[in-house]
């Protein structure tokens, strides 16, 4: 049912034209002005409505991600915010409640943009449920926190490297794999958005492309938004050149290096040799109740059966699975559509999926295995990025 907010201006104008007298028109105008003045005067209205929209569990991640992107560098409060994000989220919520009205509005707009990204990514597969949406958004905000807090020019100082590793240590392997999936998705968007500009100006404005996109990816989501919304190749070039001067966080390399260090301490064991108790111990206490659905763990374990622990996250062989967000779906969906069959098929050598070109048939040939789920084929076919 349409509301006053969603009605076209022309319709509202026609309604106002039919008011019986000037007093009614004045009352309507004063009502709007009164509501607007109330919202402007009482900041907590916008803060509370935004919090209700975002959700209490996600608000602390959103707030820290926003602060990391907006506050000046060097970021002295990184350790304080990261520790309280996991151990005392009520402190982060208090920071949010004390923000000026214009900052709270910016946070709301930033959340809307992230929701649009997540919806576009997830809807290539299915419409996500509430728990799945939370998982997706949380992973994007964790990625945003990482690139802003740990982006440097040159060598990483030991204290910052220690803080970075302690941040990564707060997540079990399947949540680090969510982090890697966000990286892969944003990388695809960035490359797709900049192909024409980079191809046109590469010789004069940019250096090695491999190094460039790693730096650009480390500038965060607002940078990606400005790149995508640039009105011309020249405007996009100027944005990209500016981004090259701001350092890099090396998000993918960082989680791989971290997992390599974990594997060395575990004496390089394959997943079947880990007991359920050892797996349970990988979940930090601070995040144990954050997400109780076993879907991400189930999917990650199915995909990494027999895989040594140093390849548990950001494994290139699992890129196709990350492409469809396999570590974000609920367990019910994973079991219903038999993710195990897809993992088995990919392990047999089909480690990438390509969609047909315009010159080829619009039908893609999928494996003839009787247990290959048609639904996963539809999901993979829908990924037009590739």
Q: Is residue 143 part of a domain?
A: yes
- Rounded Cα distance between 10 and 143, Å, is 43
Q: Are residues 110 and 49 in the same domain?
A: yes
The string of DSSP letters for 222-288 reads HHHHHHHH-SSHHHHHHHHHHHTTS-B--HHHHHHHHHHHHHHHTTS-BGGGS-HHHHHHTS-GGGT
Q: Is residue 290 part of a domain?
A: no
Range of the domain at 14: 9-39
Q: Are residues 122 and 21 in the same domain?
A: no
Q: Which of 120, 138, 153 is the C-terminal boundary of a domain? A: 153
Pick the closest to residue 290 from 163, 66, 138 (CA basis): 138
Q: Which of 153, 188, 215 is the C-terminal boundary of a domain? A: 153
Q: What pLDDT does residue 187 have?
A: 93
Q: Which residues pair with 152 in a beta bridge?
A: 248
Task: Tell me the C-alpha to C-alpha distance, in Å, between residue 306 and each of 259, 267, 344, 384.
Answer: 16, 15, 12, 31
Residue 172 has φ and ψ, to the nearest 5°, of: -70, 165
Q: Is residue 18 part of a domain?
A: yes
Q: Is residue 35 part of a domain?
A: yes
Tokens of 347: 């392990």
Q: Are residues 35 and 132 in the same domain?
A: no
Pick the closest to residue 150 from 285, 235, 240, 254 (CA basis): 254
Q: Is residue 351 part of a domain?
A: no
Q: Are residues 22 and 105 in the same domain?
A: no
Q: Is residue 253 part of a domain?
A: no
User: Using the 8-state DSSP alphabet, how is residue 365 labeled?
Assistant: P
Plot region of 291 (φ>0 → left; ψ -120 to 50 → alpha; else → beta)? beta
Tokens of 92: 């982060």
Collapsing DSSP to helix, strand or coil, 308 comes out as strand
Residue 111, judged by CB atoms within 10 A of its CB (0-12, 13-18, 19+), counts as buried
Residue 375, judged by CB atoms within 10 A of its CB (0-12, 13-18, 19+), counts as middle
Q: What pLDDT does residue 137 have?
A: 96
Q: What pLDDT does residue 205 have?
A: 60
Q: Which of 91, 121, 153 is the C-terminal boundary of a domain? A: 153
Q: Are residues 30 and 66 in the same domain?
A: no
The contacts of residue 81 (CB under 8 Å, 6+ apart) are 64, 67, 68, 92
Q: What pLDDT does residue 378 have?
A: 55
Q: Are residues 30 and 87 in the same domain?
A: no
What is the mean pLDDT of each successive set of 10 residues along the chain, which is 386 residues long?
69 75 74 77 86 93 94 77 94 95 94 93 72 93 96 89 94 94 94 84 63 90 95 92 90 93 69 65 61 86 83 90 89 81 63 40 41 51 42
Q: Are residues 67 and 119 in the same domain?
A: yes
Q: Is residue 91 part of a domain?
A: yes
Q: Are residues 112 and 129 in the same domain?
A: yes
Q: What pLDDT does residue 225 have?
A: 95
The string of DSSP letters for 171-189 reads S-HHHHHHHHHHHHHHHHH
pLDDT tens column, 104-118 = 999 999 999 999 999
Q: What pLDDT does residue 93 have?
A: 95
Q: How far is CA 269 from the centre of its chain?
A: 30
Q: What pLDDT does residue 289 have?
A: 60
Q: Are residues 23 and 85 in the same domain?
A: no
Number of structural domains in the chain: 2
Q: Are residues 33 and 52 in the same domain?
A: no
Q: Is residue 148 part of a domain?
A: yes
Q: Are residues 121 and 30 in the same domain?
A: no
Tokens of 72: 């000046």
Q: Are residues 103 and 127 in the same domain?
A: yes
- Rounded Cα distance between 345 and 339, Å, is 10
């Amino acid at each position: 049912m349409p509301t006053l907010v969603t009605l076209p201006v022309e319709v509202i104008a026609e309604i106002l034209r039919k008011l019986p007298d000037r007093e009614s028109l004045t009352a309507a105008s004063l009502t709007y002005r009164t509501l607007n003045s109330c919202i402007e005067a009482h900041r907590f209205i916008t803060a509370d409505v935004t919090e209700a929209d975002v959700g209490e569990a996600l608000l602390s991640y959103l707030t820290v991600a926003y602060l990391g992107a907006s506050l000046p560098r060097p970021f002295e409060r990184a350790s304080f915010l990261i520790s309280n994000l996991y151990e005392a989220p009520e402190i982060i919520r208090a920071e949010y409640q004390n923000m000026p009205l214009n900052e709270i509005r910016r946070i709301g707009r930033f959340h809307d943009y992230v929701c649009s990204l997540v919806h576009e990514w997830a809807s290539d597969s299915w419409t996500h449920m509430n728990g799945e949406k939370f998982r997706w958004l949380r992973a994007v905000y964790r990625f945003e926190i990482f690139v802003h807090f740990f982006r440097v020019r040159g060598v990483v100082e030991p204290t910052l490297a220690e803080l970075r590793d302690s941040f990564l240590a707060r997540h079990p392997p399947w949540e680090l794999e969510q982090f890697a999936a966000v990286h892969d998705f944003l990388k695809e968007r960035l490359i797709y958005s900049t192909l024409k500009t980079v191809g046109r100006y590469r010789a004069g404005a940019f250096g090695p492309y491999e190094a460039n996109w790693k730096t650009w990816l480390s500038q965060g989501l607002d940078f990606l938004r400005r790149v995508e919304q640039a009105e011309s190749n020249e405007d996009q070039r100027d944005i990209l050149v500016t981004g090259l001067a701001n350092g890099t966080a090396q998000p993918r390399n960082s989680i791989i290096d971290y997992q390599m260090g974990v594997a060395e301490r575990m004496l390089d064991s394959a997943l079947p040799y880990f007991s359920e108790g050892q797996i349970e111990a990988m979940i930090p206490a601070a995040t144990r109740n954050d997400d109780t659905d076993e879907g991400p763990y189930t999917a990650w374990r199915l995909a990494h059966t027999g895989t040594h622990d140093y390849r548990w996250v950001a494994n290139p062989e699992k890129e196709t699975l990350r492409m469809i967000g396999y570590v974000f779906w609920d367990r019910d969906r994973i079991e219903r559509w038999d993710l195990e069959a897809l993992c088995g098929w990919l392990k047999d050598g089909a480690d990438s999926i390509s969609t047909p070109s315009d010159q080829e048939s619009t039908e893609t040939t999928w494996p003839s295995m009787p247990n290959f789920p048609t639904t996963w084929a539809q999901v993979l076919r829908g990924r037009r990025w590739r």
